[in-house]
Structures are given as structure tokens and as C-alpha cells.
Amino acid sequence: MDLSLEEIIGLDDLKKLMHFFHEAAGLSVGVLDTKHNWLVSIGWQRICTDFHRVNPESRKNCLMTEDRICEYLDSKQYLTYPCPNGLIEVSIPILLGDVPLGYFFLGQFLHHPPDHDYFRRQAIACGFDIDAYLQTLDKVPVVSARRINHLMKFFVRFFDLLTRIGSENLQRRHAENEIVKAKEQLETRVEERTRELNRALLEVGDLAAQLNESLQQVERLAVTDTLTETYNRRKFDETIVKEHDHARHGKTPFSLIMLDIDHFKKVNDSFGHSVGDSVLKHLCQLLRGLIRQGDLLIRWGGEEFLILLPTTLIKEAGPFAERIRVVVEQESFPTAGKVTVSLGVAQLREGDSTDTLLKRVDSALYKAKQGGRNRVVLCSEI
């Protein structure tokens, strides 16, 4: 399957990520597709936009550099090069396997303070206003080669991960579409085969196998929340039984964290439900980065989530919940800005049922909200 960069990477999300990077690092970033169309172009230095890209001769240097660099990029290694106009740029190919989908550029910086005599001569040759040209030159960031090396190692892995995940998601969507088509085809074929009983009997085995495969995929989707791609209540109900059995056989009991986004209704009322959905998805991304392998993140309903922590005592779960609270409080959510959460924590006690455990952790969450929100309350404290 021939895939384009735009098919497997959400450009809006990529632009937001690149904006965040530009604001943090002060470096220009760009993404070209294989047809040399700029999909992302952020933070270009004024010396380029106001001078190099305006003058016909210096602009030729820019375009020539883009063409030639893309020809040389044939591996995952990044390439550092000086553009003919005197600045330094770095580039890597964006690959899916060994197939190039586009190119990432980091640029318009210098490794050392600029040679003003060189750029003064360049300004004269191109007919630029010398003082204005040198003033914009002094705003070009000076970044060590060592720092650029670290950044590009990050971006090599970043785009490798991004393209692989994007490709897998695209394939999953194609598979889901195929399931729908298969179901429609199955219904049509059943209607046709009822007229020819003998032939239908020969095909029953194949049709049953197809249906079984479809049902298995549906079953996986049935335990997943479609918006946040976290687990749902059904998955929780399946897992909690196993954790009860584990604890009854003398293993360490487990703990539950119930968390709720504070004043989430205001987010929806102020920015709209699409931003509210974005906040929920962004929060889940943060939580996935904090929980351990084996922990279970469940969307309990609306803006309320459960985290099941196997073989974890409350004395360990409490500090972990506080860490979640701090990380969320420090995060800046797109459009919505600052968001906080309240958390309740409870540990399975002897004689606990699922209902009693849920009631206790819900009570702890309620106390956290009543106590002013943006806090953690342990069930042992109430």
C-alpha cells in the first residue's frame, strides 16, 4: 500500500507539536512531502523571510538547497549542511520502513557568532539594506553542534515512532472498514444462498470462520473507550475479578485511584465540546506516560477515570496519585490552558466486594472535591 505522509500523520497535531518545540527551542522547523510541498513551516528567521526569500538570486539558493538535500537523504541519519546564504540547517528523511514519506528540517541557526564582514558583503551583493540586514542577522540563534546532535537524535526516533504508529492506526481503520464491508457482503450472500440450500451448506463453514474473526475484533473494540482509547467499564469488570482472586490467595492486595477533572463543565461551556474531548484525550496521554505496565486505566464515565494498581498498597498508591495531580497541574492543555484533577485513593480490604471498594474510593474523591479540589484524599484518612 502506497501511503503519503498526510495519510498517516495528523498534520494539525504535528503543527501544534512543532509550534511547542519552536516556542521552547527558538529554532525553525519544517516538513516537506516527497513532492517538495511544505506541510509544516514554522518560525522561519526574518533574515530568510525578509531578505533571502525576497531577492531572486538568494531565493534560488534556498530552492536549490531544498532540491539537492532531499536527493542526498537516503537513510535515517541526519544531514547538517550550510545553505549558500550562510546559515546552517539540518535535515532527516521521514521514513516508513525504508520508504521516504517526506523530510524534516531544523534550521536557520549558526554554530558560532556570525562573521559580520561576510554578511555585510552579502548584503551589498544582493542590494539589501546593510543595517537592517545585520540587525536581523544578530537575531539568528547560535546553537552548539552538540545540542543539535541531541535534538536530531530525538527527532529521528520521534518520526520513526510517529510513522509506525500512524501506519498501524491507518491499517486498523482499513481493517475496521473491511469488517463493515464483510458484514454487508455476508448479509447479501446469506440472502442469496437461502435460495440454493445445497450450495449454502457448503459455504457455511467459511462464512462462520469469517464471522468468528469479525466477532473477535468487535470484542476487542467492546472493551475500549472510542474517544480516549482507554479501557472501559467492561474491561474493569473482567479484571477486578482476577485481582480479587489474586489477593485472596495471599498476594498483595491492590489499590484503586479514582480521579475527576475539576470544573470540566466550564471547559465545555467556554470552549465547546470538541475542546473538552481534546482535554480528555490529552489527559489520557499524560496518564499513560505515568502508569506502570500492568496498571489499568479506565474511563469510568464522562470526565471520571479509574486507575487499577495491582499488588500495590495504599502507602504506594497515595504518592503516585499526588504525582499525577502535580503533573496535570503543571501541564498546559491546548486551547483550554490549565486543568486540575481531584483524586481519591483506596486499597482493597479483607472482606471488600467490588461495590464496597468503589464506594470507598468514590467517597475519597468526593472529600477531595469538597476540600477544595486539586488534591488527593486517601481512604485511610476519612
Residues acting as catalytic residues: 303
- Reduce the DSSP state of residue 135 to 3 states and report it: helix
Residue 256: half-sphere exposure toward Cβ, Cα within 13 Å = 28
Rounded CA gap, 206 and 212, in Å?
10
CB 90 within 8 A of CB 148: yes
285: closest CA among 39, 7, 17?
Answer: 17
Cell triple for residue 13? 497535531
Which residue in the block uniquely carries the three cell numbers 498526510?
A: 6
CB 107 within 8 A of CB 30: yes
Residues 6+ apart with CB under 8 A from 135: none
Rounded CA gap, 295 and 309, in Å?
5
CB 125 within 8 A of CB 61: no
Residues 6+ apart with CB under 8 A from 340: 261, 262, 325, 328, 329, 373, 374
230-247 burial: b if 16+ Cβ within 10 Å, else e: bbbeebbeebbeebbebb
CB 345 within 8 A of CB 379: yes
- Reduce the DSSP state of residue 32 to 3 states and report it: strand
User: Is the alpha carbon torsion for 110, 115, 116, 117 positive or negative?
Assistant: negative
CB 48 within 8 A of CB 63: no
114: closest CA among 82, 138, 80, 85?
Answer: 138
Longest dimension (CA), the chain: 91
Rounded CA gap, 105 and 22, in Å?
12
Rounded CA gap, 183 and 293, in Å?
35
